[in-house]
């Protein structure tokens, strides 16, 4: 064997070893790979996510697309058919102001629709169990006893008693001013309302953008309606009213859309201006939580007592970070070892062979053997390339191809039942079985069994031969 580990075994290669079928060669402790997933992929609420969790919306987004179409179509017709005429006849500042309002409206709309409104994370199983124990202790009941509804807690905010209600879906006591949205199935902090026109809930984190959206949309609608009417008046002075309508049919469509929209939009803007100035939410105003009708001592504990301060806090205060961390990674579970394969029974192998197969993997790093050690007459040596092996059925070594069939085994080694009528062979004439590779898992159980019978027959032949010689003497 030449130095450096080279030799006939260097050219021996195993190609296309199949690992899909179960086999004793497979390690029983193979671990399963679990791909890292983000939290938005398993979010329990009824929301839709886009751009890998960066965009969060409600599932019902049909009205939101209607809002986009109305704004884009109306503004597009205005810039295409009215602004060129108005820029020449009046001033070029009209399309500039209209463009600024349009981009501001679109920016605040998308910011409201695509952001987290202030969703509160649900309790983990451990947190929910701990909270259940606290409720049981507070109610004086055991874990299996009756739990009196409703579950509430009372806190005092600026001298006013506020009840905290328990959410049976999120398994938490909702903080003050929070409420559970039935459409999104989430508890939202400082919940105002669910707005289908923006396709999202309106809460603590996106209320200011919602207010800016409806306020700027009111200005844009009034702006377009005013200059559309101006355009029709200027044209009617030149060609008449009917001819002016025929010359610019898009102007008529814009006027109709803006006329029927401006009332609801302006009214909604005024209502939310009142809410901001008094530091209330739509939910609180509809329920009358701080109405004087409930009592003289009932007042809004969240108001700062000043309209200017309330507006500054709502519109200019800091935005709290999102609490759900929707783009964070989920901690993977501990990998469990895979179940050991049960392919040994299919091959009919014994337990000793399975232990040998597990202890001796099929690798190219086995000790190199020369062709003189394992050479049989008329058989190829180890210098020839090895055949393709798979892990499906155990295959004997290429140097013993005749040991796989019963006919070949009976030709080489006579069986015990065939001793009658045959001459006994001397130990020199009996063919010795070829040596197996030490520790190789490729020997078949039938081959090992027949070789064991052959060694017993040789001993029997020697004893009979000795008896014959003694009797002749």
125 φψ region: left (φ > 0), alpha (ψ -120 to 50), beta (else)? alpha
Asked if 245 and 58 count as a contact pair (C-beta separation under 8 A), the reply is no
Q: CB within 8 A of 232, min separation 6: which ones?
A: 241, 244, 245, 248, 251, 255
Asked if 172 and 123 count as a contact pair (C-beta separation under 8 A), the reply is yes
- The C-alpha atoms of residue 351 and residue 101 are separated, in whole angstroms, by 82
- Please give the positions annotated as active site: 195
Which residue has tokens 């009917």?
Answer: 242
Closest CA to 316 of 207, 241, 416: 207
Task: Give the burial class of 116: count Cβ atoms within 10 A of its Cβ; 0-12 exposed, 13-18 middle, 19 or more buried.
Answer: buried
Closest CA to 444 of 416, 385, 403, 392: 403
- The C-alpha atoms of residue 219 and residue 266 are separated, in whole angstroms, by 8
How long, in residues, is the chain? 473
Task: Give the burial class of 191: count Cβ atoms within 10 A of its Cβ; 0-12 exposed, 13-18 middle, 19 or more buried.
Answer: buried
Sign of the CA dihedral 85, 90, 93, 98?
negative
Asked if 74 and 257 count as a contact pair (C-beta separation under 8 A), the reply is yes
């Amino acid at each position: 064997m030449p130095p450096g580990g080279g030799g006939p075994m260097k050219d021996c290669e195993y190609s296309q070893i199949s690992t899909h079928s179960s086999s004793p060669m497979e390690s029983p402790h193979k671990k399963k790979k679990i791909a890292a997933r983000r939290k938005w992929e398993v979010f329990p609420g009824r929301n839709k996510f886009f751009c890998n969790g960066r965009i969060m919306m409600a599932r019902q987004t049909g009205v939101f697309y209607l809002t986009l179409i109305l704004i884009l179509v109306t503004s597009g017709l205005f810039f295409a058919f009215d602004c060129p005429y108005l820029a020449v006849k009046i001033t070029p500042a009209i399309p500039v102001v209209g463009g600024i309002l349009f981009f501001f409206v679109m920016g605040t709309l998308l910011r409201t629709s695509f952001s987290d409104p202030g969703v509160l994370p649900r309790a983990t199983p451990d947190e929910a169990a701990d909270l259940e124990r606290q409720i049981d202790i507070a109610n004086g009941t055991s874990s299996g006893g009756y739990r009196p509804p409703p579950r509430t807690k009372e806190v005092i905010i600026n001298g006013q008693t506020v009840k905290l209600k328990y959410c049976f879906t999120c398994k938490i006591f909702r903080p003050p001013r929070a409420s559970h949205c039935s459409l999104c199935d989430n508890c939202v902090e400082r919940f105002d309302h669910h707005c289908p026109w923006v396709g999202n809930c309106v809460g603590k984190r996106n209320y200011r953008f919602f207010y800016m959206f409806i306020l700027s949309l009111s200005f844009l609608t009034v702006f377009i309606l005013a200059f559309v009417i101006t355009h029709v008046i200027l044209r009617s002075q030149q060609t008449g009213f009917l001819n002016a309508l025929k010359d610019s049919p898009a102007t008529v469509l814009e006027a109709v859309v803006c006329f029927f929209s401006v009332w609801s939009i302006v009214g909604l803007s005024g209502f939310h201006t009142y809410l901001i100035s008094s530091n209330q939410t739509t939910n609180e105003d509809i329920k009358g939580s701080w109405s004087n009708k409930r009592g003289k001592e009932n007042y809004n504990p969240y108001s700062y007592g000043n309209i200017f301060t309330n507006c500054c806090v709502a519109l200019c205060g800091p935005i709290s970070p999102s609490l759900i961390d929707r783009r964070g990674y989920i901690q993977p579970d501990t990998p469990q070892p895979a179940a050991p394969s049960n392919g040994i029974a299919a091959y009919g192998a014994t337990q000793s062979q399975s232990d040998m197969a597990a202890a001796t993997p099929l690798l190219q790093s086995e000790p190199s053997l020369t062709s003189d050690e394992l050479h049989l007459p008329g058989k190829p040596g180890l210098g020839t390339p090895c055949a393709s092996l798979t892990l499906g059925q155990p295959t004997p070594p290429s140097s013993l191809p005749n040991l796989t069939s019963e006919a070949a085994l009976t030709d080489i080694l006579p069986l015990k039942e065939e001793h009658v009528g045959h001459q006994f062979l001397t130990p020199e004439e009996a063919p010795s079985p070829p040596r197996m590779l030490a520790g190789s898992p490729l020997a078949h159980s039938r081959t090992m069994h027949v070789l064991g019978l052959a060694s017993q027959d040789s001993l029997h032949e020697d004893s009979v031969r000795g008896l014959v010689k003694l009797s002749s003497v």
